Amino acid sequence: MIDPEIGFTADVIRDPERFVGRTRLIEQCISSINAATGLISVYGKRGVGKSSLLRQIQQMALGDYTVAKRAGLAHLIPNNPRRYLTVFYTCDSMIENGRDLLSRLCNDQNEEDSLLRLVPDDGKEIIEFTRSKETSAGADLKVVNWGAKGIESTKYAKVVPNDIVQTFRNFVDSVVANQVKKRMKRDGILIILDEFDVIKDKNGIGSLIKSLTTSEVKFAVCGVGRDLSDLVKDHNSVERLIEQGTLPVKPMEPGESEAIITRAAELFKGELKFTPGVAPLIAHMGQGFPYFVQLLGKQCVSVANARGAKVIDEDIVLEVKERLGRGEGFPTLEQAYQRAIGRSSDRQLLLHLLAEQSGEESMFSDEIGRIVLKNSRQDAMDLDIEYVDQLIPRLVEEKSGPVLERVSERQGVYEFVNPILRQYIRLRSLN
Ligand SMILES: Nc1ncnc2c1ncn2[C@@H]1O[C@H](COP(=O)(O)OP(=O)(O)O)[C@@H](O)[C@H]1O
Ligand SMILES: [Mg+2]
């Protein structure tokens, strides 16, 4: 049996060896990491590869440019790249606003990624560690012991009651003075905030970030959106900070998706081979979504295992496709599909019509995933689907996932919340 995880993973890509493509984005990352000030913003669709890019930014910020070298960009790496200590925080929808966010940052206790781990405290034990396999790569700091007093941010330096902004400033100042400068001799601290889009009230966050940004404190924000204004409402206040730092993550070009298969083949080290036709087939099914490509790759390995095969050929891909058609092999997507349908065969039909709408090309454009209800009305009527308007509400409700969300500017225009689910539906058979 061959472990699919050797070559494929559905996890965020931290290991630069597994990170594929994105050459142009890496180029931009290099320059924005090395700019003395400025905000880095990463945005794009769900499952398109944002968090993975963020982890590579973190790696480069520490001074490990493996991913850039692999992308053939060694010549762009400065002789003395700016080096940082890093904080990485993933937001959630319980965060109401900017203050809430700062409070979370001051209290998060993650051993490798939190701000609090870096704040000096007598009892705490912090050691250097590297985030990649290469020991020569840039080191970061992690906590191995929080000390006898336990973890409570009020025990740490300079907490100002009822003033989270000042408390946060104090924390950051002490980290910069003690860890960044004195201990690690770095240029600054990089605070990376993933899933920034889920913060409820984003008013004022732009000006907050602006006021906290210095030549020693840099922020990177990332989330689902079409541009920076989807992430930071008062984006005008950060406009001057973002010259090099806006990184739109688009669906992958077919060649990049194919490279995921090629890279997997390398990772399997000859234990498992792929015939030449396989990568283009999988890339096509994945429609530019690396997450889906990785899942398809995994399924191919499972089928190969079941057959006792050591070579993945087009026939195996075909079997994966047939199984997918029957709802087998992709439990998370299948569950989402079933929840959306909610036992209505009419809704199932409509969902397929909507998922099928418009040509493939549009999936690579800015309008990715947009659908117009009226374009499917005639088809729906031809298929005897009655009451289209009564089928839609469930699809935009929370309990269905939701599957669709309204695109506010235009009436009757929706978007699949998860473009990967859309592609799954396109490949799924009706019965
Ligand atoms: N550059 C890449 N190379 C290979 N696989 C990738 C790459 N980017 C993303 N992936 C795959 O796609 C999945 C989704 O990526 P992720 O970074 O979590 O996307 P997002 O944060 O946009 O939802 C990852 O778990 C990984 O399996
Ligand atoms: Mg993510």
Instruction: Indicate whether 365 pLDDT > 60.
Output: no
CB-based contacts of 154, cutoff 8 Å, min separation 6: none
The CATH architecture annotation of domain 22-249 reads 3-Layer(aba) Sandwich (3.40)
The CATH number that domain 254-325 falls under is: 1.10.8.60
Tokens linked to 20:
């594929």
Across the range 161-176, mean pLDDT stands at 92
Q: What is the pLDDT of residue 48?
A: 94
Across the range 232-245, mean pLDDT stands at 78
Instruction: Name the closest ligand to CA 50.
Output: 1
> What separation in Å is there between the alpha carbon of 289 and the centre of ligand 2?
13
Q: How confident is the model at residue 367 (pLDDT cuts 50, 70, 90)?
A: low
Instruction: Name the closest ligand to CA 88.
Output: 2
Note the pTM of the prediction, 2 decimals: 0.92
Question: For the chain, what are the domain ranges?
Answer: 22-249, 254-325, 331-427
The three-state (H, E, C) secondary structure of 74-99, written as one string: HHHCCCCCCCEEEEEEECCCCCCCHH
> What separation in Å is there between the alpha carbon of 200 and the centre of ligand 1?
25
CB-based contacts of 18, cutoff 8 Å, min separation 6: 9, 263, 267
Tell me which fold the domain 331-427 belongs to. Answer: Arc Repressor Mutant, subunit A (1.10.10)
> What separation in Å is there between the alpha carbon of 429 and the centre of ligand 1?
26
Instruction: Indicate whether 366 pLDDT > 80.
Output: no
Question: Any idea which of 38-47, 214-223, 411-420 has the lowest mean pLDDT?
Answer: 411-420
Q: How confident is the model at residue 326 (pLDDT cuts 50, 70, 90)?
A: very high
CB-based contacts of 128, cutoff 8 Å, min separation 6: 139, 140, 141, 184
Question: Any idea which of 54-63, 345-354, 368-377 has the lowest mean pLDDT?
Answer: 368-377
- Bridge-based pairing of strands 139-145 and 188-194 is unpaired
Bigger pLDDT: 256 vs 360: 256
Across the range 143-165, mean pLDDT stands at 76
Ligand 1, pocket residues at CB < 6 Å: 9-13, 19-22, 44, 46-52, 260, 290-291, 294
Whether 22-249 shares its CATH topology with 331-427 is answered no
Across the range 130-146, mean pLDDT stands at 84
Instruction: Name the closest ligand to CA 48.
Output: 1
**In 10 A of CB 218, how many CB atoms?**
29
Instruction: Return the ligand 1 atom nearest residue 195 CA.
Output: 21
> What separation in Å is there between the alpha carbon of 263 and the centre of ligand 1?
14
Beta bridge partners of 395: none
Question: Any idea which of 160-164, 188-192, 224-228, 408-412 has the lowest mean pLDDT?
Answer: 408-412
Across the range 345-372, mean pLDDT stands at 71
Strand stretches in 150-255, DSSP E: 188-194, 217-224, 246-249
Across the range 360-368, mean pLDDT stands at 48
Across the range 173-181, mean pLDDT stands at 94
pLDDT tens-place string over residues 307-322: 999 999 999 999 999 9
Assign residue 168 a region (left: φ > 0; alpha: ψ between -120 and 50; beta: otherwise).
Answer: alpha
CA nearest ligand 1 atom 12, residue = 291
Question: Do 129 and 112 meet the contact criterion of CB atoms below 8 Å apart?
Answer: yes
Return the exposure string of 229-246: e unless at least 16 CB atoms fall within 10 Å of the residue's CB, then b: ebbbebbebbeebbebbe
Return the exposure string of 369-386: e unless at least 16 CB atoms fall within 10 Å of the residue's CB, then b: bbbbbeebbebbeeeebe
Across the range 29-53, mean pLDDT stands at 93
CA nearest ligand 1 atom 5, residue = 290
pLDDT tens-place string over residues 97-131: 999 999 999 999 999 999 999 998 878 899 999 98
- Bridge-based pairing of strands 413-416 and 370-372 is antiparallel
